[in-house]
Structure 1
């Protein structure tokens, strides 16, 4: 195809939008996740000997809260993003605005209902554990306003405006962490030293963060009031749709997002309620120690790998409105191109990030949590799980963006069934690593089914994608070997359990590992093929021929 044809322009424009949107969402997600991991360092110090127990309590609270959060937002950000992009592609801006304002009323009601439900159900969900009940109730408050904040983010994303979402996400996280650390210090160092109170205030910090995040989005909305009024004035007005039909459309689109967005949390909830009893059937170990072990993979490792998974979430959010618009136009060629671009961009970023994390697992874990051999091994295994979690996130979003909601849900449930069926036998044979291995098996099955469905329906360039994935994986393994050799060598001459040593290892190994991988994908032109010709300028500046 000639590079000057309209089709070539559309393809290039869509790729550029995706890269630009991914950059914003990746920056927001990564910075938020990094902040969400960094706070652990002072939090761990101030919690003292109660850290692992407190972290298990924090993790159990957030796992259930996350499901309530997904239900209370009812998949609205993604559904609104998808529907707004759909109506905008039809030049029906007024319908998109009507959908937004009615959705705002709905989300306010959902916030009240979900807040009340979590408060009332807290004792039952906590299995009548007073400490966990207190944590659940502190997490009920953010549910009041997060649904409305999520709606605003989805609205902006429907216009391919990722900056408001990314910046508000970052501000929300900053405010949350400042409040969390301040209250933890006051309670544990100046107050009654009750770790349950400290954890409750740490979780209530989500409400404080949400207030700041919502405020910023409202400011963005009012600043663009004239622009939105102009778009409404030029709307085609060919679609007449009632408020009731709008709400029905929202729910039709939202319910699949609820199920699929809950998937990762449901995997961890299975672990939360089955890990202790299944382990006690096979091994002689008490509940306090099992809670600590649970915190190692569901709390500590999960918090770090979600930094990497957030890369996939950012790409998925960016791809959704572009795919919905292409599907609305009936442009199957563009859809296939978008699928290919999304998958290859995911692989070139996600695979080296996850494998690299496994390579520096020891210093990374020591820096955030202190030395724990079991925790380090769990992080190494969880780093591989991160690739599958990220792939599932992207594939589920692709199917939803193409209006294959039932298919996506069915394939997710098959994988979830595999996870549930393998939970006990894998715990029996692999001890504490069993839950993570079961999650990997479930996600692998679901991802395989979803890839097959996309290939059959849209004939994206799967062979080309597999070839490039093989190259990406090979370069990532070379990078892994380099960083692992550096870490192992430094461990021979420095104390690997020291936080200072961990920083030295990361500062040396991480840039070298990134440099090795970057050189490989630039030298072979693999980066050019996936990211585009703009990367050629970087190669020239680096004098890589």
Structure 2
């Protein structure tokens, strides 16, 4: 009898984990699709946008990057980390069947985020001269972005609330619509100003950044529709749930703020690194040579905008995983399921490796063609992209491990690790720029984030006893298949280079499409043939193998 009960318990635990894994896979699929489509749109617009700026394109890229770095920081502060905190708290209370409390958390979060949006928008509008750091062109750009900071916090809160229910589709769709509206507005505005009116490139950049406000309006429409569509289901859960009415609205607001402050700091991690580059790069470069601001802006644009737009597509995979992991881990923690938390951490890490490593090596193999399609051929720009692509691995891992640390409520420890990482970044910034100039900021970021990630994963191992030996086989397979894919695609690109000019955009686009398809085919075949995909996704894929006429 006892043995039978143990078997039932084990079976129930396995089923619970499988359900969690399925939710993560489903959520990751939606968030990855939305994030990737948004990133692709956010990269594709660059092709006509840069072309219409003509000789001003490099300066426009640098100005856009400076404005958006400040915008990202204020947006993180304005949302006060509440979307992720909201997702975590809603997942926590839903795990306890306290759905009415989840709804009250949402309402309290809306009040806080609306107030923060107003405060941050006012600071951006009236403090733009100070934030511009002596660059007058940055002032109108920062002010144009204040409008987006005003309305995005409530939108982000709604996203976090729906994610807490593991409804990832509305967030994914709203991300795509937000990006679509933004890109359409900025392209139309830029074309009218630069090509029709022959106007100022600074005005064109200002309108391009104001497009963030237009995009946010589109996302709000999608989320409002999704909220109304799920309202009946939420009311049913609230009626059937075990609802705790003892928690006051004030207590919920305090709890949201308490939970969100660490999210502000941790989610700002990558932006903090970018702002360090923005405010130190020119100054440090002046120490080591007589460069004009025009020259330094051109170099700054290569790593802060040009390469950033492309490698952030890869990082968006990691971001999708991070968003999905928070509510699942919060639910497991609320249920005090230590084994489930360990398995979910391992599963998230393996999914990260499965996506990030082949994507990184794939971009590395077609870097020349990719850069030429988006910006035009530039040997320096291609070199920066190739270097930045490898840096995207520790940056992407940061988004995943930081989210998981917050999911298990280790906020203070994560802040401590981020502080160490930022200190290391500051220490390495000067010697790295002295050694590698334009590649220096990327190297300093990569090294410091590598150390930061090690501290976090070591912490996971100490607390949960991660099964690295069990993960080793799949990890080695991912690396081996990715390297095989890289060699195959690189060889194909070199072969094309013998017959096709590397300088023409149309030729680069053709070889890029063929190279990407070839790389995806190689990795997919190897992952299916040797059942790597089965072990990562947690389900047999025999039917897919049969459709592809692959022998088991």
- Is the TM value for this pair above 0.5? yes
2:416 maps to which residue?
410
Aligned to 1:403, the other structure's residue is in SS state: coil
| Contact 1:343-1:465 within 8 A present in 2 as well | no
Partner Cα separation in structure 2 for residue 118 and residue 295 of structure 1 = 23
1:36 matches 2:52: no
| Contact 2:124-2:146 within 8 A present in 1 as well | yes
How far is 1:519 from its partner?
A: 1.7
2:16 maps to which residue?
10
1:110 maps to which residue?
116
Partner Cα separation in structure 2 for residue 533 and residue 286 of structure 1 = 58
**Any idea what the Cα deviations from partners look like across 1:210-267, whole Å, max 9, x if unmatched?**
0110121112112222222222222322351111110111011111111111110111
Aligned to 1:6, the other structure's residue is in SS state: helix
- TM-score normalised to structure 1 length: 0.98
Partner Cα separation in structure 2 for residue 463 and residue 117 of structure 1 = 51
Partner Cα separation in structure 2 for residue 286 and residue 467 of structure 1 = 52
Large movers: runs of 4+ above 3 Å: 1-4
How far is 1:478 from its partner?
A: 1.4
- TM-score normalised to structure 2 length: 0.97
Structure 1, gaps ≥5 residues long: none
How far is 1:104 from its partner?
A: 1.1
| Contact 2:128-2:142 within 8 A present in 1 as well | yes
Equivalent residue for 1:68, pick from 55, 68, 74? 74
How far is 1:192 from its partner?
A: 4.2
1:167 maps to which residue?
173
| Contact 2:86-2:106 within 8 A present in 1 as well | yes
Structure 2, gaps ≥5 residues long: 1-5
Partner Cα separation in structure 1 for residue 319 and residue 442 of structure 2 = 20
With 204-213 and 484-493 compared, the bigger mean Cα shift is at 484-493
Aligned to 1:201, the other structure's residue is in SS state: helix
| Contact 2:322-2:399 within 8 A present in 1 as well | yes
| Contact 1:336-1:458 within 8 A present in 2 as well | yes
How far is 1:14 from its partner?
A: 0.8
How far is 1:97 from its partner?
A: 0.6
Partner Cα separation in structure 2 for residue 206 and residue 56 of structure 1 = 17
Equivalent residue for 2:246, pick from 227, 240, 244? 240
| Contact 2:144-2:210 within 8 A present in 1 as well | yes
Aligned to 1:145, the other structure's residue is in SS state: helix
1:120 matches 2:126: yes
Partner Cα separation in structure 2 for residue 522 and residue 230 of structure 1 = 42
Give the aligned length: 545
2:33 maps to which residue?
27
Query: Cα 1:2–1:306, aligned 2, differ >3 Å: closer, same or farther?
Result: farther
Equivalent residue for 2:311, pick from 305, 314, 320? 305
1:294 maps to which residue?
300
Partner Cα separation in structure 2 for residue 404 and residue 13 of structure 1 = 24
1:349 maps to which residue?
355
How far is 1:533 from its partner?
A: 2.1
How far is 1:453 from its partner?
A: 0.3
Query: Cα 1:483–1:85, aligned 2, differ >3 Å: closer, same or farther?
Result: same
1:230 matches 2:259: no
2:53 maps to which residue?
47
Partner Cα separation in structure 2 for residue 381 and residue 471 of structure 1 = 24
Q: Quote the RMSD (CA, aligned, Å).
A: 1.4
1:446 matches 2:428: no
Partner Cα separation in structure 2 for residue 395 and residue 13 of structure 1 = 22
Equivalent residue for 1:195, pick from 175, 196, 201? 201
| Contact 1:92-1:239 within 8 A present in 2 as well | no
Partner Cα separation in structure 1 for residue 473 and residue 14 of structure 2 = 24
Aligned to 1:139, the other structure's residue is in SS state: helix
| Contact 1:348-1:472 within 8 A present in 2 as well | yes
| Contact 1:33-1:307 within 8 A present in 2 as well | yes
**Any idea what the Cα deviations from partners look like across 1:107-127, whole Å, max 9, x if unmatched?**
111111111011111100102
| Contact 1:82-1:321 within 8 A present in 2 as well | yes
With 92-101 and 519-528 compared, the bigger mean Cα shift is at 519-528
